[in-house]
Chain A
Amino acid sequence: MTRRWLNRAAWAFLLTLGCAALAAPWLPLEDYRSMHVELRLEAPHWTASPVLGTDAQGRDMLARLLWGARISLFVGLCGTLVAMFVGVPYGAFAGFRGGRWERTMMRLADALESIPMVVFVLFLMSILQEYRSELAAIGCGRLQLFLVAVGLLFWLPTARVARAEALRIRQLPYVLAARASGMRGWPLLRTHILPNMMPAMLVMLLLTLPRVILMEAFLSFLGLGVEPPAVSWGGLASDGLAAMNPLVGSAWLMGLPSGALALTLLALQRIGRSARP
């Protein structure tokens, strides 16, 4: 019973947040980039004007949080989709084909798992910084680089689950029947296997999303996240950490974005777990 209410609360929170983030440009907010020197480090007033306070440059935290939500959620969603886009076909093909193909493909996945991908991706990103102007010319900024990085990092678990699902579905009676009546290859994969993998893949999507959002926070901390003046929750939280010192209490600068992040991730986990068959 409480579980059902928790699920509803999670859905309600995510929907509200999503709508607020989508509508951020039209909401009556301060500009998230405009600095007010006289209003620096204002603590949250909760009911009066800077509702959630201001940061070290006097920028409105409520506006920054909502604009940060846009980036964090968007990046999380796109990154997850990239990972699915690589992982699902790989795993589905391996599981469906079976035999030597499957063994080779899964051994490759094992080998990739035993190298530190995060380090490798950071290495790659730092080198691609050299080509920033060329990349910008073909419309490829930090954001696109991030999506590639996420694809490289998170497709492996998805591929594993996809393979297991494909293996399971391949042995089900309706697939055997289709096979017996002469269906092979791509048509079989498309009409019977891929559609029936969808529920498991949806769960996988929900479970990958929190990890991608955390990854963005990680990269923001290292200075490889979205570029200012754009803001993301991870960037805000790491600014808050940088502003933290024992003399000026500015806990809200780190607390608010990481609280928002934590609530979102908890809600996603909740829904992901309840959707698991």
Chain B
Amino acid sequence: MSKRLLRRLLSLLVSILLVHAAAFMMVRATRGGPFDEERALAPQVQLALEQRFGFDDSLLVQYFHAVSGLFRGDFGPSLRYRDTQVSALLADALPISLALGGGALLLALLLGIPSGLLAASRRHRNAGALAITTSTFLLAIPNFVLAGLLVALFSFQLGWLPPAGFGSVRHLLLPWLCLALPLAAQISLLVHARTTETLNSASVRSAIAQGLSPQLLLRRYILRPSLTPVLAFLGPATAALLTGSLVIEQVFALPGLGTFFVQAALARDYTLALGVTVVYTALLGSCTLCADLLMARMDPRVEALS
């Protein structure tokens, strides 16, 4: 077990290093740089800037510096935000993004699992059909449109919640909802499909025949097998959250990682973009790892961390 865990951690490290190396090479291979202005800089200024950011060393030396910085959590100075270290920007943005993503994931689970179970139950057929229809519809619109709808409803019509900005929990409610609803829809569909299967299985049918109460049936026979696909989905869900946050943070003007990444990518702030990419890789990798661990715990048939 611990040996396998170690191997997985090692492979996570390797994938972070590979992503870093690929991004690093891509950045260094580009000809244009953040110092390209409308007017050409004086050669001395150009040279001074390049020296300051270490662009005048050989590629190998630069890469070596970058990797040793990576292990210290140091990505060098941002190219656009003058006199600011990338790590400082990341340290400011990461908590916001974590709060956004973590809250959204929790909300998605809280909405998706019960509605999926409800959809599979034979007694509440209409509510279940409604849950399935809503889910299919939610998966067919882009999330910025969903954000627009929710803002129009809750901010402009009802005036309950602020349409954008950051400051209190109230500012996070709409972004949470926007990120969580599509995920909840997917979770609900997954749970529905698997629970329907479980309900028809021999074990559940014989349990029903023995006269188990519905509560006991749900707890002992249905929940565990029905929830394993949700665990398997946690990795892809994190990836979807990352993608979604790029858009949602823009819409709601939240100063999180996604906003920084998009701005950096558009403004050629490559050190910042590289830093965010590495942080994202680490986040996604560790979430996938946790999901796999949980899954092996829940379903002994899944060979732990194969």
A16 close to chain B: CB less than 8 A:
no
Q: Is the CB of B140 within 8 A of A238?
A: no
Which residues of B lie under 8 Å from residue A130 when comparing CB positions?
30-32, 268
Q: A114-B288, A118-B239, A262-B141 are in contact. Are A126 and B32 (CB under 8 A)?
A: no
Q: Enumerate A199-218 residues with CB–CB distance to B below 8 Å.
A: 210, 214, 217-218
Q: Is the CB of A261 within 8 A of B141?
A: yes
| Nearest chain B residue, comparing its CB with the CB of A217 | B142
Number of interface residues of B (CB under 8 A): 49
Which residues of B lie under 8 Å from residue A269 when comparing CB positions?
136, 139-140
B221 close to chain A: CB less than 8 A:
no
Q: Is the CB of B144 within 8 A of A126?
A: no
The stretch of A94-102, A143-151, A182-190, A240-248 that contacts the partner chain: A240-248
Number of interface residues of A (CB under 8 A): 39
Q: Is the CB of B284 within 8 A of A241?
A: no
The stretch of B113-121, B204-212, B259-267 that contacts the partner chain: B259-267
B156 close to chain A: CB less than 8 A:
yes
The stretch of B47-55, B66-74, B89-97, B242-250 that contacts the partner chain: B242-250
Closest CB of chain B to A29's CB: distance in Å? 24
Which residues of A lie under 8 Å from residue B22 when comparing CB positions?
120
Q: Is the CB of A118 within 8 A of B242?
A: yes
Q: Which of B31, B32, B147, B277 contacts A120 (CB 8 A)?
A: B277
Q: Which of B151, B156, B277 contacts A116 (CB 8 A)?
A: B277
Bound-state CA distance A261–B145 (Å) is: 11
Q: Which of B31, B243, B285 contacts A118 (CB 8 A)?
A: B243
Q: Is the CB of A246 within 8 A of B156?
A: yes
Q: Which of A116, A124, A218, A254 contacts B247 (CB 8 A)?
A: A218
Which residues of B lie under 8 Å from residue A123 when comparing CB positions?
23, 26, 265, 273-274, 277
CB<8 Å pairs between A and B, sample of 15? A111-B11, A111-B15, A113-B239, A114-B15, A116-B242, A120-B23, A123-B265, A217-B142, A217-B144, A218-B247, A234-B142, A241-B148, A244-B152, A258-B141, A262-B140
